Amino acid sequence: MLSFLQNLSAILFYTLGSTMFVAVWVLRNGMGSISSEWWMRIVDLPLLMIGMLYGGLSVYQSLRAKDHPIHPFIFFLGLPLIALFLFFVILNFWGSAS
């Protein structure tokens, strides 16, 4: 199950990351500034979440034994990633709240 989730998050991460690069390129060349700005505002948090999920699962799978899950490691890896994601969510909406 974890390898499927890691593969799915990798596909989504590379897909969203590629569309973000295309949006920056289009915005930089002045070809479609309104749609590019809109896409970059919408996709930033999903890209961050999927990237953190992909990275966390990659670290977890590289450090665990073949058949033995490390349950405390899930807690010590997942908790900082969740806290960091919530910190970025707060930073993202901080200026738009006022």
Q: What is the 3-state secondary structure (H, E, C) of the chain?
A: CHHHHHHHHHHHHHHHHHHHHHHHHHHHCCCCHHHHHHHHHHHHHHHHHHHHHHHHHHHHHHHCCCCCCCHHHHHHHHHHHHHHHHHHHHHHHHCCCC
Tens of pLDDT along 3-17? Answer: 899 999 999 999 999
pLDDT of 78 above 70: yes
pLDDT of residue 98: 56
Q: Can you give the pTM of this predicted structure?
A: 0.82
Q: Which domain holds residue 46?
A: 2-94
pLDDT of residue 36: 86
- Digit-coded pLDDT (tens) for 16-70: 999 999 999 998 888 877 888 889 889 999 999 999 999 999 988 888 777 777 7
When divided into structural domains, the chain yields a total of 1
Which of 95 and 86 is assigned the larger pLDDT?
A: 86
